[in-house]
Structure 1
């Protein structure tokens, strides 16, 4: 790669693995799943993506920004600090300036900030030091949010249970209050990988202080905590500072339900209804796609031991999820899903295909995006 800039390398890779990326189902000129009907009215909701959607590429911040420019999105969420080549001010300001010149808003995030969670990694120091770094990076690149999360579903039963971890998370978040308020960056905690139900995250935000703490509202993770994404929207929408969005399929199994994340429009979320409420509850909040594919996951809620993880579960939340399962069925693989010469190339091609198809659906069916 001697003599090639990161930008040239990114462009070359996208072209070489070709025809699949930035084409076909992903093109804004080639609408999907609207039957060729007239495009819907624009909702004027910023549309973007979380870099986890294309994690197999291993791109850094510059390469991800190149990709965001090519996709003509309004925003991009760098959801882990490892994408940055440096935390020095000139480098971060350079990213901000290049993004702003193309009309793209960079959002910044990281991983677990709960020191008692199994997911916590001391790579960036203590949880408090990690939070301080996150807020500084967010401020320098012009991000209005600092996305983070507590942990994952295992924390619901380990380390004393989810209440212990919530309390520990609040203690860490409170140490960043002055820095967050001074910089104008809102700490945006995600409902992540089965760690928190919507009402638990809302309670955490209220206790920590909603003047500087909000939510990264993840529609896919709602079904991992036995919630209908529409019901979770009603709870978390008023707190949302940013998002991580994907569709989900839920269907019945002998012991409960199976769940599988899907591309937008290929699951069973009623997205037009969702977006109507999103506009009302989340004005100005970016709709960031975090498309994650993979096989189904079982939730055996007919087994008594399952409920050890949800000692305070609410019947009305479960009822909505059970209703989804009763009306659902396994998803069908999108037509035209690409494959490569090996597992790595297949993962890269599929992740880009899934994201780009979902962006097209959001634009052509839901009317999302500012341009």
Structure 2
């Protein structure tokens, strides 16, 4: 049986305090095929000698690499100008990607805050597309494409992201398909995969528990197998339509359920162009969660914006690693992913 590449998104283990080399060693020890460095900070330097050390360590251990950065929209709430304009940041990451052998640079527009801020969503999309067009010559020169993510619970629905790719060209930009973010916007993760699989260059794969609530639904990210996202269906779509695309696990736990009030006017204002059939798909997913008896996961919770006591932080580290490793086991044993033996 052919098995497809299984990778680690560094954000899954963000509390471990690891550098790039530690992530690569861990991936190798776990028998994983790839490490997806989703943030610029995962690389300590863009110095050529350092990048080649990272590349050589990964090659020696048989681990493929992907790199990324954050927002490329200067209007976005999460855009960080520390390293220059979006064009400068993307160009630097493309050059770093070429050095370490990454075929993509993951990036995103922003997050759901940008759908309701002072700048209209259309202007955010225009700025994102302007940056993509500006760096297109660099993309083509280095053979490193952009992988634009449906990010932040969510900045772009799948059909919106697909439209950007089709306008700017798949030779320049594809999708980093995140299977966890769609549900937080009232979108079925399987639907997102149906729309984006043919353009997928990379992934952030995780499961989500979705169940009904008075004003719509609740959603919570969970380890693989604990939710009701159709992971088999998502796998099958990616295997058929994007066979070179790795399944990079981005397992995010330690946070409580989120409201998804898709039955309210406020939600409709945030996502005004959702087709009735798409909304119905999510409603079915929420009903399915109720039938299964899904609800809040019992786990250690991190408190946003608060200082975490050292003992709680250590417990979160242990939980984070355990949840990731259980997800690796599920991906191998139930989804038949992974090309290497642990």
Give the TM-score normalised by the residue count of structure 1. 0.85
Q: Does 1:94 find its partner at 2:59?
A: no
Q: Which moved more, 1:118-127 or 1:298-307?
A: 298-307
Runs of 4+ with deviation above 3 angstroms: 331-334
Structure 1 vs Structure 2 CA RMSD: 1.4
Q: Does 1:136 find its partner at 2:95?
A: yes
Aligned-partner Cα distance in 2 for 1:331–1:43: 36
Q: Does 1:348 find its partner at 2:317?
A: yes
Aligned-partner Cα distance in 1 for 2:297–2:316: 18
Written as runs of structure 1 = structure 2, the 5 A alignment for 1:1-371 is: 42-193=1-152, 194-293=154-253, 294-328=255-289, 329-330=294-295, 332-333=297-298, 342-371=311-340
Aligned-partner Cα distance in 2 for 1:197–1:52: 22
Give the TM-score normalised by the residue count of structure 2. 0.92
Aligned-partner Cα distance in 2 for 1:222–1:304: 19
Shift of 1:306: 2.2
Shift of 1:365: 1.2
Shift of 1:331: 5.3
Shift of 1:43: 4.0
Asked if 2 retains the 8 angstrom alpha-carbon contact of 1:117 and 1:159, the reply is: no
Gaps of 5+ in 2: 300-308
Local SS of the residue matching 2:118? coil
Local SS of the residue matching 1:224? helix
Aligned-partner Cα distance in 1 for 2:325–2:7: 11
Aligned-partner Cα distance in 2 for 1:288–1:177: 25
Asked if 1 retains the 8 angstrom alpha-carbon contact of 2:177 and 2:200, the reply is: yes
Local SS of the residue matching 2:337? coil
Shift of 1:119: 0.9
Aligned-partner Cα distance in 1 for 2:159–2:18: 35
Q: Any idea what the Cα deviations from partners look like across 1:28-73, whole Å, max 9, x if unmatched?
A: xxxxxxxxxxxxxx44210011100011112221121121122111
Local SS of the residue matching 1:176? helix
The structure with higher relative contact order (CA 8 Å, sep 6+) is: 1
Shift of 1:188: 0.3
Q: Any idea what the Cα deviations from partners look like across 1:97-142, whole Å, max 9, x if unmatched?
A: 1111211101001111111111101011111111111111111100
Rg larger in 1 or in 2? Answer: 1
Gaps of 5+ in 1: 1-41, 335-339
Asked if 2 retains the 8 angstrom alpha-carbon contact of 1:266 and 1:331, the reply is: no
Asked if 1 retains the 8 angstrom alpha-carbon contact of 2:75 and 2:119, the reply is: no
